[in-house]
Chains A and B, each alone.
Chain A
Amino acid sequence: MFTTLTDEKLVELAVSKDSEAFGEIVKRWERKIFALCFGMLGREDDARDAAQETFIAAYRNLANFRGDAKVSSWLHRIAVNQCLTTKRRAKTRSEDFLDEETHEEDRVFMVPPHLSPLRTTEQNERLFYVRQAVTSLPTDLRQVIVMKEFEDMTFQEISETLELPLSTVKSRVYTALKQLRMKLERTPLEVA
């Protein structure tokens, strides 16, 4: 029923206390918001926490959503805010030596995604498309993305290895990720 509706229409329905409409928004955007949080925080656990906090904050602030803005931009802004809050909190925790206890409390509500058979199937399918997208990249772009992600090299190390300027390496990684994003948006799993 909700799959054909736009994000903005779903938000309108969610504002009128339609929980299923908001559930559809979460379903559409949870992975992307998780990716954004992962990109900002760099840790899977922290990113999951931040993604959950983002959707809770969005649900609480549905009334503040301006109709002229895109839902994606609205959710992204909330996610960025949430990530910055998480980072500040983590910094304070590390200073106060209270990191472990609070983290354990947060993790109680997290469901490991690999327990769901549906998610496993989706993930396998996604990996297939990702593999296709990466292998279809031009050689120079594929080279830097593999060195960065699979060999865990820094930009400086890649620059020295390939004997390329540092800025060239960074721009190649940027272009590679851009092209990957575009390729994956065309797949059935990643509809923007």
Chain B
Amino acid sequence: MNKNKNIEKVCVHGEEIVSYLYDEMPASGRKLFESHLLECSDCTDDFAGLSLARLNVYEWNNNEFAAMQTPTILIPYENSDRDSWFQSWFGPIFSAPKLAAGGILAAAAIVFGFVLFPSGNLENNISINEVKTAHPTATMPDKPSTPMVAEDQQLVEVKIPNLLNRNDNSGVTAKPIMVSKPFAKKRKIDERVAAVKMTPKTKNIQPLTPLNAPRLTNFEDEDDNTLRLTDLIADSNTDK
């Protein structure tokens, strides 16, 4: 606290002066400060001096800085040489939201179409059924459970257009398909698989071994006239 020499009054601090100057003093403090200024010429002069200094800075700010346009900030981002092929090809498309949405919808439609019609078109599906009925030996399970069968089915589908050309509108049954040897082997396996699948589950399966067959443990004890492998080997040795 400062004491004014001329007037016996407690003068204000510099902190209070700047608080008042920048309008950051509470209303009650402002009234006291103003009443003090009216009575104390020293504080008034001090306040006037600070006000002048502030005005100069304020004008400097207004004339030089406030009038300036805010500069456009340009950040020199490094160009990435390692852009992926996906970014370089599809980057412009995905940068446009509408184009990206359209592309996604088109892709979804194509995938949906493949799911609904996996073999290409309806005509081919019908021809597969015709081939199956024309060749009872080539019957296969509808849904192949092994990769081998699936491979076989693929080969049949490829040959469908030729079969259609031979039999169109004639009502004549199709000739057997000429297949290579490995393919025939696969087909036999398929037939066995199909036969197994066609066997009713409730049917009693005949055991391979008869119930009255001698056990291996007491085989020597039984009278058995069947031909044995050891006997054959022994006979062949004696022949030699």
What is the number of contacts between chain A and chain B, taking CB atoms within 8 Å? Answer: 120
Is A58 an interface position by the 8 A CB rule? no
Bound Cα distance from A63 to B54, whole angstroms = 32
Bound Cα distance from A32 to B44, whole angstroms = 12
Closest chain-B Cβ to A121's Cβ sits at a distance in Å of 13
Contact between A170 and B59, CB atoms less than 8 A apart: no
User: What class of interface size applies to chain A in its complex with B?
Assistant: 35 or more
Residues in B whose Cβ lies below 8 Å from that of A155 = 18-19, 22, 24
**Interface residues contributed by chain B, number (CB under 8 Å):** 34
Bound Cα distance from A79 to B20, whole angstroms = 16
Contact between B15 and A36, CB atoms less than 8 A apart: no
Residues in A whose Cβ lies below 8 Å from that of B19 = 155, 170
Closest chain-A Cβ to B213's Cβ sits at a distance in Å of 100
Contact between A35 and B52, CB atoms less than 8 A apart: yes
Report which of A123, A134, A145, A181 forms a contact with B52, defined as CB distance below 8 A.
A181
Is B57 an interface position by the 8 A CB rule? yes
Question: Restricting to B12-32, which residues have a CB under 8 Å from any CB of A?
Answer: 14-15, 17-24
Q: A42-B23, A80-B38, A175-B14 are in contact. Are A36 and B48 (CB under 8 A)?
A: yes
Known pairs A134-B57, A178-B49; list 14 more (Cβ under 8 Å).
Answer: A38-B51, A39-B54, A39-B55, A76-B41, A80-B37, A127-B60, A127-B63, A130-B60, A149-B61, A150-B65, A154-B22, A170-B18, A171-B15, A178-B53
